[in-house]
Structure 1
Amino acid sequence: MTPDDPLLKILACPLDKGPLLLLVQQEAPRSAEALYNPRLHRRYPIVDGIPQLLPSSGEQVTDEEHEELLRRTAS
């Protein structure tokens, strides 16, 4: 998934129905992708190109992680 993927415009958080940010982590042995809801501090994994958008699939992030994720998406 890329930041300009049209699918990103229609995907929404299953909890608050708001938009999600795409996160791509290049530091891992292979790149990891996730969708992030900055309003609820929840991260949803993308597994084999498929967003896992069940409420139970979301992971709560700490305040420190939240700040780091926002810095990463801003750059």
Structure 2
Amino acid sequence: MLSATCRRLVPALRGPRTPSAVAGRYLLAPGVRSFADQSDRAEEPRTFHPALLRFLVCPLSKKPLRYEASTNELINEELGIAYPIIDGIPNMIPQAARTIRQNKKQEEVEQH
């Protein structure tokens, strides 16, 4: 029984990768445009919405973050790190964060 089902599925899987126009209309959720419709318009850059700061915290310190629009980053002042925002999506992986200030000891040495 399983092998019969597999025999029927194999030709369907090897068939065309794009659905027919009729199937495409029913596969999309209401209000969702197909990829063909989306390619007609210019690519819109995605931006970060600052209202998300109510929900986002630093994964390391669990403290609130500050949005810096000029650099398009989320800043943790306490740790001195900045998380990049790419296409409107914050990259909250600690390894992706950059240091925004030097160690306190290095700052003290430079001041004296």
Interval containing the TM-score (normalised by the shorter chain): 0.5 to 0.7
Report the counterpart of residue 12 of structure 1 in structure 2: 57
How far the C-alpha of 1:2 sits from its partner, in A, is 4.0
**Between Structure 1 and Structure 2, whose CA radius of gyration is higher?**
2
Q: Separation in 2 of the partners of 1:40 and 1:11?
A: 16
Larger RCO, structure (CA 8 Å, separation 6 or more):
1
TM-score (norm 1): 0.67
User: Percent identical across equivalent pairs?
Assistant: 38
Report the counterpart of residue 74 of structure 2 in structure 1: 35
Report the counterpart of residue 57 of structure 1 in structure 2: 96
TM-score (norm 2): 0.46
1:44 pairs, out of 83, 87, 90, with: 83
Q: Separation in 1 of the partners of 2:74 and 2:64?
A: 9
Q: CA RMSD in A?
A: 1.3
Structure with bigger strand share is: 1
- Ranges in structure 1 where 5+ consecutive residues have no aligned partner: 26-31, 64-75
The within-5 A match list for 1:60-75 is 60-63=99-102
- Ranges in structure 2 where 5+ consecutive residues have no aligned partner: 1-47, 103-112
